[in-house]
Amino acid sequence: MHNLYSSLTQYGTQIALRSKEQFPSVQYVKWTEENFKYVKYNPRNSFNRWGLSLTSYDGGLSGIPDLDSLHQYNLENNTTIEESEFNIPTPAYLDNYHIQEFLKPYSKYMYRTHILKLDPGGFFPQHRDFRGSNFNSVRLISPLKNHCTFIMDNKVLNWEKGNLYFLDTAKVHSLFNTQTKPSYWLVANIDLNEESFNIITDNFDKR
């Protein structure tokens, strides 16, 4: 799948995707906060990061291990769990029409997908989301509420709230919430194959 990933990145690093209708992202965040509990994201680190699983290993919302660092979790537990095993929808996805419609073109290919919540002061230090030559998935990302600073290759990225983007997260990137309110992001991992590649490229925003 490395050739498919390389082909995607020829189009750009951050590419907006079309959707049938505007996703009511702020209302969706409010709904999740009223109905579910966000849990610690990567519990080894105290970086003010929380998450809510839309797909998980067992369809539950514990966040274990789907909101952990898979690399670290596998090392500590002598397991070989992969992104593709987090494909069971949770109530945070199944019980909301708007998120289902928003992700509908890609739902057949969804791997580990969640809402990321960065509290004030929360951050992700510089990192890459891929290791070695394992490029069998891609990241689709949407800023849902209260933008934070997202830096990739030493450039600050611009976003439109409620839009979905392909992002080349094989490149070094970092996030910082320097605001006074939590910042919410949708992070979807999508199986990369010929079908999903065509769906993503067909939905590139031509603006």
Q: Mean pLDDT in each 10-residue stretch from start to end of the chain (207 residues)?
A: 88 93 95 97 88 97 92 92 94 98 97 97 92 86 96 95 96 95 97 97 85
Give the pair of three-digit tokens for residue 175. 């996030």
Distance CA 121, CA 151 (A): 15
pLDDT of 134 reads: 77
pLDDT of 18 reads: 93
Q: CATH for 2-202?
A: 2.60.120.330
pLDDT of 207 reads: 57
Strand stretches in 47-198, DSSP E: 49-53, 55-56, 88-89, 110-118, 123-127, 137-145, 149-152, 155-156, 164-167, 173-176, 183-191
Q: Provide the residue ranges of all domains of the chain, joining segments of one domain with +.
A: 2-202
pLDDT of 1 reads: 61
pLDDT of 204 reads: 94
Distance CA 111, CA 166 (A): 15
Distance CA 65, CA 41 (A): 10
pLDDT in tens, 164-176: 999 999 999 999 9
pTM summary value: 0.95
Beta strand pairing call for 14-17 and 183-191: unpaired
To the nearest 10°, report the CA torsion of 112, 15, 192, 186: 10
